[in-house]
Amino acid sequence: MTRINADWLTNPATRQVLDMLTGGGHNAYAVGGCVRNTLLGAPVSDVDIATDARPDRVQALAGAAGLRAIPTGIDHGTITVLAKGQPFEITTFRKDIATDGRRASVAFADDVETDAHRRDFTMNALYADPSGAVLDPVGGLPDLRARRLRFIDDPAARIREDYLRILRFFRFQAWYGDPSEGLDPAALAAIAANLDGLEQLSRERIGAEIAKLLAAPDPAPASAAMQQSGALGRILPGADSRALAPLVHLETGLTPPARPDAIRRLAVLGGEDLPKALRLSRADARRLALLRDLTAAAATPEEIAWRHGAQTAIDTALLRAALLEQPLPQDLARRAETAAGQSFPLRAADLADRYQGPALGRALKAAEQRWIDSGFRLSRDALLADL
């Protein structure tokens, strides 16, 4: 039997919650991402628990144990319990009895097998009991070891339960799939047959999934498959993933490598009205617009670094190189940092005896551009002499 041994499973907060449930006569299993990531050697950010205890019973047990219980999703069987300041989502075993492709009506169940068959992918339906023994009701372990993403049972049925699973398929492929292996043909066929369902999804949900996909170390193969399936064009009309692979290659070639950045990668995809399509925050929308404008502009990386910061200059250079299939400027990071740290030697007061009003602004702007074009070498006296 496969068994896990992880800090999150043995820490006092997790033990307190698991003991609360098992001490009350119930089954309790860690489930989903915490088990999957532990088996992959990946970081674990939160611990979800599945149990046969009904929500009111979970609340009662938590109260008796002196723990705070919050009914965050009680209609779907989820209670969040705080133990030692750490939140645990505890969800009663359940099955979907009706769905409109976005929301499901559920009925509670008594066994882990029923609960497993309502989940999305086999690698996400792995459970670990309090001792660390792994339960695999739907054959997720072989898929996980092969880095093979597969829907549970009928892919089309799983998709019609929640059309967001189309996007989740590509997101999980980017994070956990083996890019050297082809994607599951049954999954791709079901996705292609159910693309109309994407229109039911909110822009916020779509935006969140795309952000998570693009934050993967290398989202290029999954994004290419997403475009080929037709899903990318449905949610981002006009987007094209062809420059994403060159961008990722350039990012990793920097010294130090550029961290994955969803907005930078979104800029290379292109597409129509991305802030509206993805409901981006104002800050992300402004940054996206700036990167796209600067990528098409004639400004040098040094000028961009001085005006907008070193990171923006690096991002712009990466985008230009990826889109134009060109090498990056040599010593890019050092040049950008140096340019960003420069200080323009003239002030308006230096020119006040020669220019007034709008003419003063034009003269100062012209001097600033000459200073930038000189590689920031012209001194105050040289600039005044030029004027």
What is the spatial distance between Cα 214 and Cα 125, in angstroms, rounded to a whole number? Answer: 24
Say what the pLDDT of residue 97 is.
75
What is the spatial distance between Cα 138 and Cα 344, in angstroms, rounded to a whole number? Answer: 65
What is the spatial distance between Cα 127 and Cα 124, in angstroms, rounded to a whole number? Answer: 9
What global pTM score does this model have?
Answer: 0.91
β 48-51/86-92 pair status: parallel
**What fold does the segment set 1-145 form as a domain?**
Beta Polymerase; domain 2 (3.30.460)
pLDDT in tens, the chain (387 residues): 899 999 999 999 999 999 999 999 999 999 999 999 999 999 999 999 999 999 999 999 999 999 999 998 888 899 999 999 999 999 999 987 766 666 667 789 999 999 999 999 999 999 999 999 999 999 999 999 999 999 999 999 999 999 999 999 999 999 999 988 889 999 999 999 999 999 999 999 999 999 999 999 999 999 999 999 999 999 999 999 999 999 999 999 998 899 999 999 999 999 999 999 999 999 999 999 999 999 999 999 999 999 999 999 999 999 999 999 999 998 999 999 999 999 999 998 888 888 888 999 898 999 999 999 999 999 998 988 887
Instruction: For the chain, give every domain's residue range.
Output: 1-145, 344-386
Say what the pLDDT of residue 1 is.
85
Please report the beta strands in the chain, taking only residues with DSSP state E, as ranges in sequence order.
28-31, 48-51, 68-73, 78-83, 86-92, 94-99, 104-108, 127-128, 134-135
Say what the pLDDT of residue 300 is.
94
